C-alpha cells in the first residue's frame, strides 16, 4: 500500500466533512466499545489476564530468535516450509515463486493485514495470478476497485449497507438487494465458485505456536477453512515474525483477550489451529504448506524503546476507543495500520520523515492504553516518537521557535510573570464585553471551530499578592 | 499543615479566580497555604512537543521550588499527571533527580484527591445549588485515578443534582497543542462532548482541568449555547460559582 501518511491533515479534513462517513463511524462506539465493556466483565480477572498476557508476549519477544527457531524446527518436522522475508518485496517474490512452482492461477485469501503491508494482491496480479479476498469486508473492498481497508478487523466499517448494496448490484450485475442476509448470500454464491476453483490459499496468522509448529487463525466467517482445508493444493501463511508464541498455553491466555477486546465476543466463531500439510492418514488439508515470515522493520523495534509495540495482537481496541479515529476513520492515516497502534507502527516501518503528523495526531487521552489487552503504553510511545522527531529537527521551524520562546520565559520567573500579565490583559481586551475571542492570532486552529474564552484580565500571582498585602494592612 | 499551591500556568493567566477559590478551600480546611512565587509551568508543553531537554529543565525547577513542603496541591489532573507520573520518566537516567521526583510525587495531590483522601473533609464553604454534569478529564482520571473524589465532594452540597452524561470519561479533544495543530479534529471531538453535556439538560458542566474547560466553553459559546455554565470544581466547592 502506498504511503499517504504525509497528507494526514488534508485527508482528515476530507473525512470530517464526509457526513455519511461520520454516521458510519458511530458504529465504533455503538457496537465495539459497548460490546467490549460488557465482555470484559464476563471473566473473573480481566486485569490479571492482561498482566499474564503481557508476560507471555514479553517472554516470546525477549527471545524471539529462539522461539522462531523452535517454531521453524517443529513446523518443518510436520512437513511445512518456513521462509523468511526481510522486506515487502522479498515477501511478495517468495509468494509469487511459490505460486509459479505449483502452477497456481487463482489464490483465495483470508484476511491478512501483512498482505496489505507487502501489497501482495498487486504482486500476484502482476504475475498473472488472480487473488480473491474471501473475508466479506475485504471482498467488498476488492470489488470496489481494490479500496484499502480502513480498520484492521472491520475493514469496511466506513461503509453502510446502502453503499454495499449498490456496489453489489453494480459489481455482480444483479438486482439491488436490501437485506443483509440477501447480500451475504450473494457474496457466498460468488465466493463458493472461487473456493472450488482456487489452487492456493493465503492466510494471515493471529499467532504462530512454537512448541507445535502451528498457526492459529481467528475468523468469524469461517472463510479461512475454505481457503486452507478445501481444495487448494497449497496453503501459504503470511505474517510478521513477531506473532510467535512459545506454547499453546500462551495461546489460551491470549484467546481469552483477543475476541473480547476486538468485538466483545467471548470467542470468535472460528478458531483454527493448523499444523503442517495434509498427512497420509488425514482426510483433508493442503498438499503443501509454506510460512512466509516478514521482518520489514520489526527487528528494528526489538531491543529498542519501542519493543513493547511488538506485543500487539491486532485486536483494534485502541482505534475503536480513540477519539481521533472515531472522528476520521482509518483512511486518513494513510497507510495499512490506523489509529494509535498505526501511529506508532507507520513511522516505525515507513520512516519517521514519511509520517510527520501521526505521532502528533493524538490527544494523549490514554484510553488506548487502558483498553489494550497487552498493555502497550501507546501514548508514551507516541511521545517518544515526538522526541525522535524533535531530535532530528523534523518538526516545522515555527514549532521549535514557539517552544523555545516559551521555555526561555518559563525558566525566568520575572520575564514569565510580565509576559503572563501582558498576555492576560491583551487577550482580555480582545475578548471585549462578551469575554470571547473569535479569531486568535496564531491560534486559528482553535478559533476555526470554537471561541477562545478570554482571560479574566489579571494574573493569579498579581491578585494573590494584592490579597496578601491587603490582609497584612488589615 | 503547610500546603504549597501549584497554581498552573493556565489558572494563573486565564482563570486566576480559580486559584483564589483553591486557596479559600484549603484555608477553610485549616491548611497554611504557601504559593511559591517563582513557579511558572510544569513543562508539559515541551514534554509533549518532544523537547525533553527543555521539559527536564522545567521539571528540575519545579523540584527545587516544591521540595520543602508537607504537601503540594494542584488544581489540574493534567499538570498533576505530568509531575507525578511523567517526571519519573523524564528523570529515568538521573537517579538523584528521579528519587527527588518520587518524593515529590508522593506529596503532591490533585485538588479533589487531596480534599477527599488527605484532608478527608466533610464540609465545604459553599451553598452552591443546581443541576450539573461532571466531565472526567483524561489525565486526572487515567493517570491519577480521580473519579470518585469530585463526586464525593459534590455530594457534600445538598442542593447539587448530578446527571452523568454519556461518555463522561471520553476525551474532550483538547490535547494541548493538538487543539491548535489539528483544530478541525479537535473541534469535532469537543462538539460531541458538548452534545453529551447538552443532552443531560444540566445548567453547568463541572470539571477539574483548565484545558478541558476552555475547550468545552469555547465550543458551547461558538454554537450559541450561552446558558450552560462551565465551572471548575474549586469554584463550586468554594462557593464562588
Chain A contacts in chain B segment 90-129 (CB below 8 A): none
B141 and B87, same domain (yes or no): no
Q: With contacts defined as CB-CB under 8 Å, which chain B residues touch A320?
A: none
Q: Of B95, B118, B141, at which residue does a domain stop?
A: B118
Size of interface A-B (CB pairs under 8 A): 200
Q: Of A255, A284, A300, at which residue does a domain stop?
A: A300
pLDDT of residue B134: 98
Please indicate, yes or no, if residue A383 is contained in any of the structural domains. Answer: no
Mean pLDDT of the B101-126 span: 97
* Helix or strand (DSSP H, E) at B163: none
Please indicate, yes or no, if residue A192 is contained in any of the structural domains. Answer: yes
Q: Of A263, A282, A300, at which residue does a domain stop?
A: A300
- The pTM assigned to this predicted structure is 0.96
Q: Is A420 within 8 Å of chain B by CB?
A: yes
Q: With contacts defined as CB-CB under 8 Å, which chain A residues touch B181?
A: 360, 445
Q: With contacts defined as CB-CB under 8 Å, which chain B residues touch A433?
A: none
B106 and B135, same domain (yes or no): no
Give B138→chain A minimum CA distance, Å.
Answer: 5
CATH of the domain at A55: 3.40.50.10420
Structural domain for A408, as ranges? 397-473
B153 and B83, same domain (yes or no): no
**Number of separate domains in chain A:** 2
pLDDT of residue A231: 64
Q: Is B32 within 8 Å of chain A by CB?
A: no
B161 and B59, same domain (yes or no): no
**Closest Cβ–Cβ partner in B38, B49, B167 for A403:** B49
Please indicate, yes or no, if residue B70 is contained in any of the structural domains. Answer: yes
For A219, list phi and psi in degrees, rounded to 5.
Answer: -145, 165
Residue A425: closest C-alpha in chain B:
B13
B103 and B141, same domain (yes or no): no
Please indicate, yes or no, if residue A291 is contained in any of the structural domains. Answer: yes
Structural domain for B29, as ranges? 2-118
Mean pLDDT of the A130-146 span: 97
B213 and B180, same domain (yes or no): yes
Give B181-224 pLDDT, tens digit per residue. Answer: 999 999 999 999 999 999 999 999 999 999 999 999 999 999 99
A269 and A406, same domain (yes or no): no
**Closest Cβ–Cβ partner in B19, B61, B187 for A450:** B187
Give A342→chain B minimum CA distance, Å.
Answer: 17
Q: Is the pLDDT of residue A474 over 70?
A: no
Q: Of B118, B147, B177, at which residue does a domain stop?
A: B118
Q: Is B64 within 8 Å of chain A by CB?
A: no
B114 and B135, same domain (yes or no): no
B7 and B73, same domain (yes or no): yes
B86 and B26, same domain (yes or no): yes
pLDDT-based confidence at residue A442 (cuts at 50, 70, 90): confident
Give A233-242 pLDDT, tens digit per residue. Answer: 999 999 999 9
B73 and B136, same domain (yes or no): no
A294 and A401, same domain (yes or no): no
Average model confidence (pLDDT) for chain A? 96
B191 and B161, same domain (yes or no): yes
Q: Report how far residue B20's alpha carbon sits from residue A322's, in angstroms, rounded to the nearest whole number.
A: 36
Q: Would the CB atoms of B175 and A362 count as touching at under 8 Å?
A: yes
Q: Would the CB atoms of B190 and A410 count as touching at under 8 Å?
A: no
Instruction: Establish how many alpha carbons lie within 13 A of residue B226's alpha carbon, considering only the half-sphere containing its beta carbon.
Output: 4
Q: Of B91, B118, B145, at which residue does a domain stop?
A: B118
Residue A9: closest C-alpha in chain B:
B182
Give B28-74 pLDDT, tens digit per residue. Answer: 999 999 999 999 999 999 999 999 999 999 999 999 999 999 999 99
Q: Is the ipTM of this complex over 0.90?
A: yes
Interface test with chain A among B26, B184, B214, by most A beta carbons within 10 Å: B184
Give A389→chain B minimum CA distance, Å.
Answer: 7
pLDDT-based confidence at residue A51 (cuts at 50, 70, 90): very high
Please indicate, yes or no, if residue A317 is contained in any of the structural domains. Answer: no
Please indicate, yes or no, if residue B125 is contained in any of the structural domains. Answer: no
**Closest Cβ–Cβ partner in A363, A366, A391 for B174:** A363
Chain B contacts in chain A segment 306-325 (CB below 8 A): 323-324
Distances A48 to A44, A61, A175, A287 between C-alpha atoms, Å: 9, 20, 52, 42
Q: Is the pLDDT of residue A369 over 80?
A: yes
Q: With contacts defined as CB-CB under 8 Å, which chain A residues touch B15?
A: 455-456
Q: Is the pLDDT of residue A410 over 70?
A: yes
CATH of the domain at B224: 3.40.50.11810
pLDDT of residue A1: 61
B18 and B102, same domain (yes or no): yes
Interface test with chain B among A10, A338, A407, by most B beta carbons within 10 Å: A407
Q: Would the CB atoms of A363 and B178 count as touching at under 8 Å?
A: yes
Q: Would the CB atoms of B222 and A452 count as touching at under 8 Å?
A: no
**Closest Cβ–Cβ partner in A383, A436, A455 for B13:** A455
pLDDT of residue A441: 87
Chain A contacts in chain B segment 181-200 (CB below 8 A): 181-192
Q: With contacts defined as CB-CB under 8 Å, which chain B residues touch A366?
A: 138-139, 142-143
Please indicate, yes or no, if residue A434 is contained in any of the structural domains. Answer: yes
pLDDT of residue A2: 72
Please indicate, yes or no, if residue B124 is contained in any of the structural domains. Answer: no
Please indicate, yes or no, if residue B123 is contained in any of the structural domains. Answer: no
Give A299-333 pLDDT, tens digit per residue. Answer: 999 999 999 999 999 999 999 999 999 999 999 99
Give A317→chain B minimum CA distance, Å.
Answer: 15
pLDDT of residue A262: 97
Q: Of A300, A320, A355, at which residue does a domain stop?
A: A300
Q: Would the CB atoms of B57 and A407 count as touching at under 8 Å?
A: yes
**Number of separate domains in chain B:** 2
CATH of the domain at B77: 3.40.50
The β-bridge partners of B34 are B4
As a whole-number percent, the residues of chain A with pLDDT over 70 amount to: 99
Amino acid at each position: 500500500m502506498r504511503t499517504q501518511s504525509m497528507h494526514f491533515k488534508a485527508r482528515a479534513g476530507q473525512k470530517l466533512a464526509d457526513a455519511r462517513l461520520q454516521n458510519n463511524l458511530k458504529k465504533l462506539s455503538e457496537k465495539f466499545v459497548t460490546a467490549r465493556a460488557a465482555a470484559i466483565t464476563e471473566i473473573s480477572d480481566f486485569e490479571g489476564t492482561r498482566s499474564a498476557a503481557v508476560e507471555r508476549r514479553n517472554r516470546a519477544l525477549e527471545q524471539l530468535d529462539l522461539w522462531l527457531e523452535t517454531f521453524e524446527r517443529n513446523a518443518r518436522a510436520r512437513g511445512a516450509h518456513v521462509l523468511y522475508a526481510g522486506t515487502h518485496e522479498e515477501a511478495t517474490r517468495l509468494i509469487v515463486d511459490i505460486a509459479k512452482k505449483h502452477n497456481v492461477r487463482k489464490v483465495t485469501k483470508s484476511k491478512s493485514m501483512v498482505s496489505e503491508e507487502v501489497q501482495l494482491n498487486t504482486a500476484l496480479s502482476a504475475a498473472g495470478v488472480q487473488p480473491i479476498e474471501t473475508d466479506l469486508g475485504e471482498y467488498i473492498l476488492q470489488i470496489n476497485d481494490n479500496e484499502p481497508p480502513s480498520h484492521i478487523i472491520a475493514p469496511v466499517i466506513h461503509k453502510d449497507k446502502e453503499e454495499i448494496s449498490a456496489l453489489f448490484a453494480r459489481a455482480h450485475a444483479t438486482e439491488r438487494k436490501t437485506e443483509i442476509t440477501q447480500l451475504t448470500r450473494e457474496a457466498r454464491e460468488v465466493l463458493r465458485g472461487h473456493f472450488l476453483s482456487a489452487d492456493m490459499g493465503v492466510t494471515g496468522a493471529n499467532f504462530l505456536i512454537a512448541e507445535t509448529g502451528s498457526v492459529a487463525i481467528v475468523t468469524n466467517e469461517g472463510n479461512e477453512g475454505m481457503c486452507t482445508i478445501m481444495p487448494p493444493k497449497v496453503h501459504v501463511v503470511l505474517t510478521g515474525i513477531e506473532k510467535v508464541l512459545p506454547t499453546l498455553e500462551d495461546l489460551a491466555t491470549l484467546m481469552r483477550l483477543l475476541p473480547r477486546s476486538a468485538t466483545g465476543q467471548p470467542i470468535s466463531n472460528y478458531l483454527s489451529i493448523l499444523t503442517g500439510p495434509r498427512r497420509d492418514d488425514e482426510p483433508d488439508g493442503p498438499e503443501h504448506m509454506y510460512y512466509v515470515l516478514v521482518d520489514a522493520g520489526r527487528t528494528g523495534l526489538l531491543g529498542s524503546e519501542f519493543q513493547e509495540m511488538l506485543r500487539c495482537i491486532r485486536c483494534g481496541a485502541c482505534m475503536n476507543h480513540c477519539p481521533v479515529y472515531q472522528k476520521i476513520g482509518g483512511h486518513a492515516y494513510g497507510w495499512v495500520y490506523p489509529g494509535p497502534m498505526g501511529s506508532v507502527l507507520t513511522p516505525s516501518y515507513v520512516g519517521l520523515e514519511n509520517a510527520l503528523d501521526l505521532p502528533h495526531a493524538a490527544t494523549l487521552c490514554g484510553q488506548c492504553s487502558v483498553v489494550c489487552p497487552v498493555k502497550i503504553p501507546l501514548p508514551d510511545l507516541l511521545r517518544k516518537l515526538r522526541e525522535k522527531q524533535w531530535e532530528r529537527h523534523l518538526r516545522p521551524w515555527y514549532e521549535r521557535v514557539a517552544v523555545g520562546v516559551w521555555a526561555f520565559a518559563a525558566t525566568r520567573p520575572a520575564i514569565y510573570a510580565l509576559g503572563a500579565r501582558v498576555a492576560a490583559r491583551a487577550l482580555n481586551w480582545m475578548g471585549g464585553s462578551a469575554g470571547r475571542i473569535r479569531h486568535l492570532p496564531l491560534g486559528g486552529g482553535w478559533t476555526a471551530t470554537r471561541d477562545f474564552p478570554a482571560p479574566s484580565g489579571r494574573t493569579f500571582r498579581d491578585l494573590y499578592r494584592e490579597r496578601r498585602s491587603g490582609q497584612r494592612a488589615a | 499543615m503547610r500546603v504549597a499551591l501549584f497554581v498552573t500556568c493556565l489558572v494563573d493567566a486565564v482563570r486566576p479566580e480559580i486559584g483564589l477559590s483553591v486557596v479559600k478551600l484549603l484555608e477553610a480546611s485549616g491548611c497554611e497555604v504557601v504559593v511559591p512565587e517563582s513557579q511558572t509551568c510544569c513543562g508539559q508543553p515541551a514534554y509533549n512537543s518532544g523537547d525533553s531537554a527543555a521539559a527536564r529543565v522545567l521539571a528540575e525547577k519545579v523540584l527545587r521550588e516544591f521540595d520543602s513542603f508537607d504537601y503540594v496541591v494542584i488544581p489540574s489532573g493534567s499538570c498533576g499527571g505530568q509531575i507525578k507520573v511523567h517526571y519519573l520518566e523524564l528523570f529515568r537516567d538521573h537517579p538523584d533527580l528521579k528519587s527527588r521526583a518520587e518524593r515529590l510525587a508522593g506529596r503532591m495531590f490533585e485538588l479533589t484527591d487531596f480534599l477527599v483522601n488527605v484532608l478527608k473533609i466533610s464540609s465545604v464553604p459553599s451553598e452552591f445549588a443546581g443541576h450539573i454534569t461532571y466531565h472526567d478529564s483524561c489525565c486526572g482520571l487515567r493517570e491519577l485515578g480521580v473519579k470518585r473524589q469530585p463526586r464525593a465532594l459534590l455530594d457534600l452540597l445538598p442542593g447539587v443534582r448530578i446527571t452523568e452524561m454519556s461518555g463522561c470519561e471520553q476525551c474532550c479533544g483538547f490535547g494541548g497543542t493538538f487543539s491548535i495543530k489539528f483544530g478541525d479534529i479537535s473541534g469535532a471531538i469537543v462538539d460531541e462532548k458538548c452534545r453529551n453535556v447538552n443532552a443531560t439538560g444540566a445548567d453547568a458542566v463541572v470539571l477539574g482541568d483548565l484545558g478541558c474547560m476552555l475547550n468545552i466553553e469555547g465550543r458551547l459559546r461558538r454554537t450559541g449555547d450561552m446558558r450552560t455554565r462551565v465551572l471548575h470544581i474549586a469554584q463550586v466547592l468554594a462557593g464562588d460559582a
